[in-house]
Amino acid sequence: MGGILPAGCLSRTPWWAMTPWSTGLSRRRVLLAAAGAAAGGLFLRQTAWAVETEVPLRFGIPQILISPMLDEFGCIDRYLRLPWRRPVSLTQHKTNAELAADLLSGELDLAWLSPYAYVRRREQLQAIAAPLTKGAATAQSLLIVAADRPASMLSDLAGDTHAFVDPESASGFLVTVAELAKIGTRPGSFFNRTFFTNADRNVVRAVAAGLAGSGTCDGHVFEVLKEIEPRLTGAVRVLSTSSPIAPPPIVAKRGGLSAAAMAAAKSLFVGMRTTATGEAALGKLRLDGFAEADDALYAPITAMAERLKGIV
Amino acid sequence: MIRSLSTPWTLAVKVPAAMAAAVVVIAAATTALVYQFVSTAQDRQLASVTRSYLDGLAPALVEPVLRGDIWGVFEILDQPRSFSTTAIPVELAVADTSGEVIAASDPRKAPSGAPLPARFRNGAGGGSLVRDDSGEVLSTTLIVIGGRSVGSLHVLWDITPMTQERRMLIQTAALWTILVPALVGLAGWFATRRMMRPVQILSRHMETADDGSVQPIGGAVVRAASREFARLYRSFNTMAGALEARRALTARLVAEERLSSLGRIAAGVAHEINNPLGGLFATLHMLKTDPASPTVQQKAVALLERGLGGIRDVVRALLAIHRPERNMRPIAAADFDDLRILIGPQIGSIRLTWSIGPLNGVDIAGGPVRQMVLNLLLNALAAAGENGDVGLTVAAAPDKVVITVTNSGSAMSGEIAAFLEGRGTADVPGDGLGVWLVRQIAAELRARVTIRTGTEGTSITVIIPRPISGAT
């Protein structure tokens, strides 16, 4: 099975952490995989949902997953396509809000959404799987500043131009808002100005270039960036790391997929590490695998969002 | 000698120098033209490059500028900027309508929210291009939507590639402007020297002609020469042969003339000796008829003495002409007395005016002067004809001796007069070898000959410069 993997799948760079290839990238840009799949695998026969159809499975990903490489997408696409035996269309969206809107309107079947965006729409959305990092389904938020800046804590950043990822991002926005709330302030008054870059990597770029004095971004993305773009991360330093929070789940619209399809999708993600194609895709993402997502995992984020209602 | 040698050498320098100078002028003119052309083209290209860059960026900026989206603007500005080889956009900034920076490509130099730095403001105004002293060019354009300006885009360009290209062009051109003329000059020098070599050979051989004999160019040289020069050499050799033949002929004629004048003189001498001889025989006869008469004896002695004295004088004059050691002796009045004796037989009925001034201390060789004056006198006597007048005046001045020979009779031909005065051709007019001798001797003595001639007669004045006293 590994023999049909495109060569790009074996490169070290995770496909979602690649340099954006064009700022004019259409959010609706659909990257279709190459046609002609090999004969069906085990899941094909086991799942009732695996009907022979040409209707593609539409999987939405946030801009965090931007890749300039078609074959990088191919890794996930191939993994998803093989068992389902149906084409997969991967679309990347600029913001979590857009992603969620498309999911709710039925434009997408599945989406990889920020936990904060998910908990805000818990009634309509259902988490299927959550990524595992270092064996645990956790994420962290980082506060970063320029490498040569003599700041030691959040309060030193007052009056800054601050870069966030997305207004519906947990690790790239909500955590810092929560920290500010603890000291009785809010971004609009604590910082001189704030802006959203729509991607964690862009926050690092903004701080490294000096466009922002400080920024909030995801810890996992930063770790990978350190590995693949040491020059970029070398220009910044981590001021503080948050307590673990829930990672971004794979979500579907409640009632959007049949119970069987939902179960199939869940087992597909959870069982990803058990196949060579899945293993390759996980390698790209620097993830250990996916675990079943339950509401308990997202309860702390829900609570945090509740607390901050009125601020954000 | 030096002058004639230096001519080809100078040509060997002048020609290549002129060639090199021409190349320099052409190269400089071409360079100036090319530079002008390249500069204009580059300026036009720069304008077009900056224009199209700005025009490409501005529409994409409308949306983020309208939203005040710092990141959106930055992301558009923060792109790889290897846009053109002419100019590189080094710094970009986008400002809102109030002149505050929304985002710049280098946020540390132009922070968001700060007023637009001065270096971005010089060219404010739609799409203008301003070049400052540092070699940076600023281009600006307004970000317009629906005819309304929402902000402005400012780009600083590094035009080093362009200026470098220009500098390289000038340097290369300068190098060629020096190198090519130098090479042309050197090649020209060699070529000209090579071309001038036959002329030099010819010139060297011509110079030998000053001595009267021309040395022909050797066969090996003629054979080695190119066809044109071989022909020239052969022509020269033919000419040299003709000159040599002519010189030999002239020498023979001079010898013959000497013999001829000797013959004439011999006849005169015979005549001069014959006269006293008649007297001597008459005396002898007288003595035979009356040997005892004391009166006859006295008369006979006187007659004998006069007759023999006359013969002695004639013989002495003859000796004077042909004894070389006497030729170098300074001129003296006695020399002219000898001449009078020598021309005696030719005088006949001609009236002779004879005036010889004192010649003491005049250090001029007597021989040539005698020969010259003898010829002049013989010619004058011949020209004067029966019952004519011939005169000789010799006067010494401190720096010269002036000898004038006059004669009545018909005018001298202009050709001969010109020849005698040293003007005109080297050809001897007519058969006047005496004339040729006079000219030769005058030249030897560095004498100046002036002739006045008309229907009343001819006057020839020879002025011989005296050697500067003390020099001898």
CB contact under 8 A, B71 and A202: yes
Position B324 scores a pLDDT of 59
User: Does residue A72 have a pLDDT over 80?
Assistant: no
Q: Which of A192-206, B34-48, B129-143, B434-448 has the highest mean pLDDT?
A: A192-206
The pLDDT value recorded for residue B433 is 57
pTM: 0.58
What is the average per-residue pLDDT within B90-103?
92
Among A120-134, A160-174, A287-301, B457-471, the range scoring the smallest mean pLDDT is B457-471
pLDDT over 70 percentage in chain A? 76
Question: How do residues A288-297 score in pLDDT, each as one tens digit?
Answer: 899 998 888 9
pLDDT for position A66? 46
In this predicted structure, the answer to whether residue A74 has a pLDDT above a threshold of 70 is: no
Alpha helices in A49-92 (DSSP H): 70-84
Which domains, from first to last, does chain A contain?
2-136+246-301 (3.40.190.10), 141-245 (3.40.190.10)
Above 50 in pLDDT, residue B156?
Answer: yes
Highest mean pLDDT among A161-175, B77-91, B230-244, B422-436: A161-175
Does residue B271 surpass a pLDDT of 60?
yes
More confident residue, B26 or A238: A238
The predicted complex's ipTM stands at: 0.76
Alpha carbon B86 to chain centroid distance?
57
The answer, for A201 touching chain B at a CB cutoff of 8 Å, is: no
- More confident call, B434 vs A252: A252
Tell me the mean pLDDT in the region A78-87: 68
Q: What pLDDT is recorded for position A73?
A: 54
Instruction: Sketch out chain B's domains with CATH numbers.
Output: 2-166 (3.30.450.20), 211-258 (no CATH), 344-472 (3.30.565.10)
What is the spatial distance between Cα B237 and Cα B226, in angstroms, rounded to a whole number?
16
Buried b (16+ CB within 10 A) or exposed e, A126-145: bbbbbbbbeeebbbbbbbbb
- Which one of A193, A196, A206 has the shortest CB-CB distance to B113? A193
The alpha carbon of residue A210 is apart from the nearest alpha carbon of chain B, in Å, by 5
Lowest mean pLDDT among A237-241, B83-87, B97-101, B281-285: B83-87
Residue A144 and residue A236 in contact, taking contact as beta carbons nearer than 8 Å: yes
- pLDDT score at A4: 35
Q: Please check whether residue A163 touches B, CB under 8 A.
A: yes
Range with lowest mean pLDDT among A131-140, A156-165, B121-130, B449-458: B121-130
Sign of CA dihedral A42, A44, A48, A49: positive
Q: Residue range B177-190: average pLDDT? A: 86
Average pLDDT, stretch B75-80? 85
B71 and A211 in contact by Cβ < 8 A? yes
Distance CA B442, CA B130 (A): 90
Higher pLDDT, B154 or B410: B154
- Comparing A16 with B68, the larger pLDDT belongs to B68
Residue B235 has pLDDT above 80, yes or no: yes
The confidence score (pLDDT) of residue B260 equals 73
Overall average pLDDT of the A135-147 stretch:
93
B69 in Cβ contact with B123 (< 8 Å): no
pLDDT, greater one: B436 or A193 = A193
Q: Which two tokens stand for residue B109?
A: 């130099």
Beta-carbon contacts of B60 under 8 Å, excluding residues fewer than 6 positions away, are A23, A24, B76
Element (H, E) at B281: helix B227-289
Report whether pLDDT(A208) > 90.
yes
Q: B63 to chain A nearest CA, in Å?
A: 12
Question: Would you call A210 and B79 a contact, using CB atoms and an 8 Å cutoff?
Answer: no
pLDDT digits (tens, 9 = 90+) for B307-363: 888 788 777 767 666 665 556 778 888 888 888 877 877 787 888 888 888 888 888
Q: What's the pLDDT band for B133 if we cut at 50, 70, 90?
A: low
| Chains A–B, number of C-beta pairs less than 8 Å apart | 42
**B78 contacts in A (CB within 8 Å)?**
205, 209
Which amino acid makes up residue B165? E
**pLDDT tens figures, B215-234:** 888 888 888 888 888 888 88
- Determine the pLDDT at residue A160: 92
C-alpha–C-alpha distance, residues A228 and A19, integer Å: 10
Mean of pLDDT over chain B: 81
Mean pLDDT, to the nearest integer, of B275-282? 79
Tell me if B309 sits within 8 A of B273, measured CB to CB: no
**Cα B201 from chain centroid?**
17
> Is B392's pLDDT higher than 70?
yes
Position B83 confidence tier, pLDDT thresholds 50, 70, 90: low
Which residues of chain B approach chain A closer than 8 Å at the C-beta? Answer: 60, 69-71, 74-76, 78-79, 103, 106-108, 111-113
Rounded to a whole number, what is the distance in Å from the CA of A215 to chain B's nearest CA? 12
Which is more confidently placed, B101 or B83?
Answer: B101
Identify how many contiguous H helices and E strands chain A contains and give both numbers. 12, 12
